[in-house]
Amino acid sequence: MSETKKTDADVTAAPDEREILLKVEGLQKHFPIRKGVLQRQVGAVKAVDGIDFEVRKGETLGVVGESGCGKSTMGRVITRLQEPTGGSIHFEGQDITRLNAAGMRPLRRDIQMIFQDPYGSLNPRHTIGGIVSAPFRLQDVEPEGGVKKEVQRLLELVGLSPEHFNRYPHEFSGGQRQRIGIARALALKPKLVVADEPVSALDVSIQAQVVNLMDDLQEELGLTYVIIAHDLSVVRHVSDRIAVMYLGKIVELADRTALYEAPMHPYTKALMSAVPVPDPKRRGAKSERILLRGDVPSPISPPSGCRFHTRCWKATEICRTTEPQLIELRPGQRVACHHPENFEDQAPQDTVLLSVAKEAASLVAEEVLAESAATSAAVAAEVEGSQEAEPSETSAEKPAAEATADAEATSAKTGPGARTAPATGVQEAKDDGQESTDE
Amino acid sequence: MTELSKTGAALGEPAPGNAPDAFLAVRDLKVHFPTDDGLVKSVDGLSFQVEKGKTLCIVGESGSGKSVTSLAIMGLHRLGAQGKHVQMSGEIWLDGKELVSADPDEVRRLRGREMAMIFQDPLSAMHPYYTIGNQIVEAYRVHNDVSKKVARKRAIEMLDRVGIPEPNKRVDGYPHEFSGGMRQRAMIAMALVNNPELLIADEPTTALDVTVQAQILDLIRDLQKEFGSAVVLITHDLGVVAEIADDVLVMYGGRCVERGSVDDVFERPQHPYTWGLLGSMPRIDRETSERLIPVKGQPPSLINVPSGCAFHPRCPYADIPKGDVTRTVRPELQQVGGGHFSACHLSPEDRTRIWTEEIAPKL
């Protein structure tokens, strides 16, 4: 797909970027729903439904989203604890999508996982020593100085005492157990650690200890993290880049600063405005808050087009009919939206709001709407300006050109959206033309 | 308020203290649980008060006694003989009536009518076998002599009020058919069906997504405005506190370590534990400072609460006061400003200096 070409293009465009450790393309995980005597499949829970991203060496990718958006499933699929339904996973250039258990075994050393529940993830009948040395036993690794010594070193590394070797999990508090889980994950010096809600079960003061510990270990051991969490404050603190998921799709993928300073997808904006800020002075600024209507729709039959259109206050006809592609609107910021915030509209001809959007907009304060319109216009102007000024257009041009291809591909596929979709492409193409003439 | 004191007097309390002016007043509350391992001092001398129309947030880590306090106010610790499963002392005054020494039947008449509670996990707090409507109807009919039909109408009205779409259909739904946020709304509807004057919410949004959390907090705020009830909200999330509280009470090891208005506690916190909590929170509204400032060590066991100041083993400033005072003498709450109290041995000068020079710049 064009998606592949684009990520390749990114790498060549920016050779100084770090090496890609994990690359995920079009990843899908559907859980079948079976009914009746014959257990025929009558539908599927589309937990992960076509996502693309890559993780570079040494960075931390944060994945956020509401419960049920498929972020945990994504974590389990990329570590191959669950079989993907479609798409591909490349780890260090090797395709691991369809490797069997034996084929995966040597890679298990390099990919480790930290689990959410420090109570459920440690076997209560094994000692700490047994738990942390299990990776060595399973992989037939004889560390220097013997297993016991290495385990004790690991325990020290995560801030536990080596004397804890012969104790059982129930003797430890939640924070300490999470440290044991981390020690186990780090035993074989993995390259990639996938942490699923590593701190959400812990108390605030302990949470900070574990976050700092993970930070230190990353620096010391050069780890790469994929951190899955629902807490946007924690994710902001730990991540270099952040992917926002909604109903099995990535809606926005961007650098931390770009995402938090100028989110482009309306969902990202709403999600962030909902996080309570520990500062009573900000209480007056209530109008910033965007309340979303209702709940996340069911992943069994996700809404057509853009999945967020049922709750979005900017949704128009095109959102209902055409699925927006995840395209790089600004360097390092990929967004799947027809009407992004803080950027020029991708479908400006489509201005009639859907009725659901009108209802949703009634929950959004006037100021927010006015402000977002203003910033979007300003950014659009700025973008044009900067594109004129920028001497090397290659990186800016590429995604636009790709987008045209994307839009055309979509228009070819989708019948009813065919009329609107090419318009997006045309718009992009026009911008393209402008740039080259200006040059 | 004269009306309140009259009722208090009418009850003819043996009164170690007189009925207070405040709507809800807790004085020197102690809740201890005898266990095989020793006496668990979950709440050990807690005092606070809440006025009508105001919100008090109780903050603390797990095991600091927040939930036990709320259950004590609701009179839900009485199961089993007094003294065998739980030892309670102190006073809880609600609208001029003392509850700790009151007859359990009397407390039961108040529960649900004058005071109601929202629990953290609505799925386990609701009965899976009965419809949502059934459960709200029951809560209403216990306190009101009305027909089922009237009560059902009331249930639908309440579901509508808390923002459940198509309430006349959803009233016949079972708890498992509701999403987490909807379930919590139904629970709020159930709690508010008798227009209680005191609403206790124990971590009402902890199990919910941020977007739903925002909806629920808004709902609680709106309903409070409408009914003028007093709200006690228990949480560990300082963001929620800043959002909704009028007053804040910080608990540690079963005791109050700091109490004050929300501005006092966030702007001029006077206890090292409060500093610790503020320092360990990652903030969404700021560019990341290099590291979080965690509180070292673990929360204390409530069986062996550290001597002296319970926080001293984790306190980075425990050595500043002269001698052994932090290890031997338990600090009492002292007024540090109008309505602002703190239980700390550090001198006010030291506290102000540490806060302004060491803590505040790093937050």
Cβ of residue B110 closer than 8 Å to a chain A Cβ: no
Contacts of B284 in chain A (CB under 8 A): 232-233, 236, 260, 272, 275, 277
Q: Say whether B243 and A275 touch across the interface (CB within 8 A).
A: no
**Local confidence band at B80 (pLDDT 50, 70, 90 cut-offs):** low
- The DSSP code for A26 is E
Cβ of residue A203 closer than 8 Å to a chain B Cβ: yes
Cβ of residue B245 closer than 8 Å to a chain A Cβ: yes
Partner residue opposite A205 with nearest CB, options B218, B242, B294: B294
| Residue carrying structure tokens 């952040």 | A242
| Separation between Cα atoms, residue B16 and residue B28, nearest integer Å | 11
Cβ count near B10 (within 10 Å):
11
Q: Locate A159 and state its tokens.
A: 């801030």
Split into its structural domains, chain A has a count of 1
The pLDDT value given to residue A386: 54
Expressed as residue numbers, the domain containing B140 is: 115-195
Residue A347 has pLDDT above 50, yes or no: yes
In chain B, the residue whose alpha carbon lies closest to the alpha carbon of A214 is: B291
Residue A10 has pLDDT above 60, yes or no: no
The pLDDT value given to residue A284: 59
Cβ of residue B62 closer than 8 Å to a chain A Cβ: yes
In a domain, B145, yes or no: yes
Average pLDDT value for residue range A202-231 = 89
pLDDT tens digit sequence for A22-35 = 999 999 999 999 98
Check: CB of residue B69 under 8 Å from CB of residue B231: no
Kindly report the nearest CA distance between residue A272 and chain B, in angstroms.
Answer: 8
Q: Say whether A294 and B165 touch across the interface (CB within 8 A).
A: yes
* Segment holding A160, helix H or strand E: none
**Local confidence band at A393 (pLDDT 50, 70, 90 cut-offs):** very low
Contacts of B278 in chain A (CB under 8 A): 278
Average pLDDT value for residue range A410-419 = 41
The pLDDT value given to residue A427: 42
Cβ of residue B165 closer than 8 Å to a chain A Cβ: yes
Contacts of B277 in chain A (CB under 8 A): 204-205
Interface probe, candidates A71, A170, A203, chain B, greatest B C-beta count within 10 A: A203
pLDDT tens digit sequence for B9-45 = 333 333 456 777 889 999 999 999 888 888 889 999 9
In a domain, A111, yes or no: no
Interface probe, candidates B170, B287, B298, B302, chain A, greatest A C-beta count within 10 A: B298
In a domain, B43, yes or no: no
Cβ count near B1 (within 10 Å):
12
Question: B7 by DSSP, 3-state: which?
Answer: helix
**Local confidence band at A387 (pLDDT 50, 70, 90 cut-offs):** low
Q: Say whether A278 and B242 touch across the interface (CB within 8 A).
A: yes
Q: Say whether B211 and A271 touch across the interface (CB within 8 A).
A: yes
Computed over every residue of chain B, the mean pLDDT equals 86
Query: In terms of pLDDT, which residue wins out, A294 or B335?
Result: B335
Q: Locate A315 and state its tokens.
A: 């949704």
Interface probe, candidates A205, A210, A255, A291, chain B, greatest B C-beta count within 10 A: A205
In chain A, the residue whose alpha carbon lies closest to the alpha carbon of B164 is: A294
Query: Exposed e or buried b for every residue in B69-93, given b needs 16+ CB within 10 A?
Result: bbbbbbbebbeeeeeeebebebbbb
pLDDT tens digit sequence for B47-67 = 999 999 999 999 988 888 888
In chain B, the residue whose alpha carbon lies closest to the alpha carbon of A279 is: B242
Contacts of B214 in chain A (CB under 8 A): 273-274, 276, 289, 291
Residue B118 has pLDDT above 80, yes or no: yes
Average pLDDT value for residue range A371-383 = 66
Kindly report the nearest CA distance between residue A294 and chain B, in angstroms.
Answer: 8
In a domain, B319, yes or no: yes
- Are B262 and B189 in the same domain? no
The pLDDT value given to residue A350: 78
Of A305, A393, A378, A385, which is closest to residue A344 (Cα–Cα)?
A378
* Predicted-complex ipTM score: 0.80
Edge-to-edge strands, sheet with A333-335: A111-114, A192-196, A224-228, A60-64, A241-246, A249-255, A333-335, A327-330
Check: CB of residue A33 under 8 Å from CB of residue A198: no
Kindly report the nearest CA distance between residue B13 and chain A, in angstroms.
Answer: 40
User: Residues 35 to 94 of A: which have CB under 8 A from any B CB?
Assistant: 66-67
| Separation between Cα atoms, residue B173 and residue B160, nearest integer Å | 14
Q: Locate A230 and state its tokens.
A: 């629902």
Half-sphere exposure of A191 (CA within 13 A, CB side): 14
**Local confidence band at A17 (pLDDT 50, 70, 90 cut-offs):** low
In a domain, B45, yes or no: no
Q: How many residues does chain A have?
A: 439
The pLDDT value given to residue B303: 86
| Separation between Cα atoms, residue B200 and residue B182, nearest integer Å | 19
Average pLDDT value for residue range A319-339 = 91
| Separation between Cα atoms, residue B351 and residue B317, nearest integer Å | 10
Q: Say whether B240 and A276 touch across the interface (CB within 8 A).
A: yes
Cβ of residue B177 closer than 8 Å to a chain A Cβ: no
The pLDDT value given to residue A396: 41
Residue A52 has pLDDT above 80, yes or no: yes
- Are B267 and B358 in the same domain? yes
Check: CB of residue A197 under 8 Å from CB of residue A116: yes
User: Residues 260 to 289 of A: which have CB under 8 A from any B CB?
Assistant: 260, 270-283, 289
pLDDT tens digit sequence for B172-202 = 999 988 888 888 889 999 998 998 999 999 9
Query: Could you say which of B160, B195, B230 is where a domain stops?
Result: B195
**Local confidence band at B245 (pLDDT 50, 70, 90 cut-offs):** very high
pLDDT tens digit sequence for B289-320 = 667 888 888 888 888 889 999 999 999 998 88
Q: Locate A243 and state its tokens.
A: 């992917």
Cβ of residue B299 closer than 8 Å to a chain A Cβ: yes
In a domain, B218, yes or no: no
Partner residue opposite A205 with nearest CB, options B242, B263, B277: B277
Kindly report the nearest CA distance between residue B239 and chain A, in angstroms.
Answer: 4
Q: Locate A395 and state its tokens.
A: 């990186």
Question: Taking the mean position of all CA atoms in its chain, how far away is CA B127?
Answer: 24
Q: Say whether A280 and B262 touch across the interface (CB within 8 A).
A: yes
| Residue carrying structure tokens 């010594």 | A149
Residue A194 has pLDDT above 90, yes or no: yes
The pLDDT value given to residue A192: 95
**Beta strands at A241-246 and A60-64: parallel, antiparallel or unpaired:** parallel
Computed over every residue of chain A, the mean pLDDT equals 80
Split into its structural domains, chain B has a count of 2
In chain A, the residue whose alpha carbon lies closest to the alpha carbon of B301 is: A173
User: Residues 305 to 324 of B: which have CB under 8 A from any A CB?
Assistant: none
Partner residue opposite A274 with nearest CB, options B213, B288, B291: B213
Contacts of B186 in chain A (CB under 8 A): none
Residues 6+ apart with CB under 8 A from A140: none
Cβ of residue B239 closer than 8 Å to a chain A Cβ: yes
Cβ of residue B295 closer than 8 Å to a chain A Cβ: yes
Q: Say whether A234 and B282 touch across the interface (CB within 8 A).
A: yes
Q: Say whether B282 and A237 touch across the interface (CB within 8 A).
A: yes
* In chain B, % of residues over pLDDT 70: 92
Range of weakest confidence among A139-143, A151-155, A357-361, B174-178? A357-361
Type of residue at A244: V
Residues 6+ apart with CB under 8 A from A11: A17, A20
* In chain B, % of residues over pLDDT 90: 45
| Residue carrying structure tokens 């924690």 | A234
In a domain, A157, yes or no: no
Of B164, B195, B197, B170, which is closest to residue B182 (Cα–Cα)?
B164
Contacts of A271 in chain B (CB under 8 A): 210-211
Kindly report the nearest CA distance between residue B41 and chain A, in angstroms.
Answer: 19
Of A77, A187, A183, A75, which is closest to residue A139 (Cα–Cα)?
A187
Query: In terms of pLDDT, which residue wins out, A18 or A255?
Result: A255
Cβ of residue A219 closer than 8 Å to a chain B Cβ: no
The pLDDT value given to residue A287: 54
User: Residues 121 to 150 of B: which have CB under 8 A from any A CB?
Assistant: none
- Are B259 and B357 in the same domain? yes
In a domain, A333, yes or no: yes
pLDDT tens digit sequence for A255-309 = 998 898 889 999 999 888 888 888 887 775 555 678 787 778 888 889 999 999 9
Expressed as residue numbers, the domain containing A402 is: 273-278+288-439
In a domain, A329, yes or no: yes
The pLDDT value given to residue B290: 67
Taking one residue from A and the other from B, the number of pairs with CB-CB distance under 8 angstroms is 135
Query: Could you say which of B175, B195, B215 is where a domain stops?
Result: B195
Average pLDDT value for residue range A182-204 = 90
Partner residue opposite A278 with nearest CB, options B238, B295, B298: B238
Q: Locate A171 and state its tokens.
A: 């003797």
| Separation between Cα atoms, residue A233 and residue B188, nearest integer Å | 27
Contacts of A206 in chain B (CB under 8 A): 61, 294, 298
* Segment holding A110, helix H or strand E: none
Kindly report the nearest CA distance between residue A209 and chain B, in angstroms.
Answer: 5
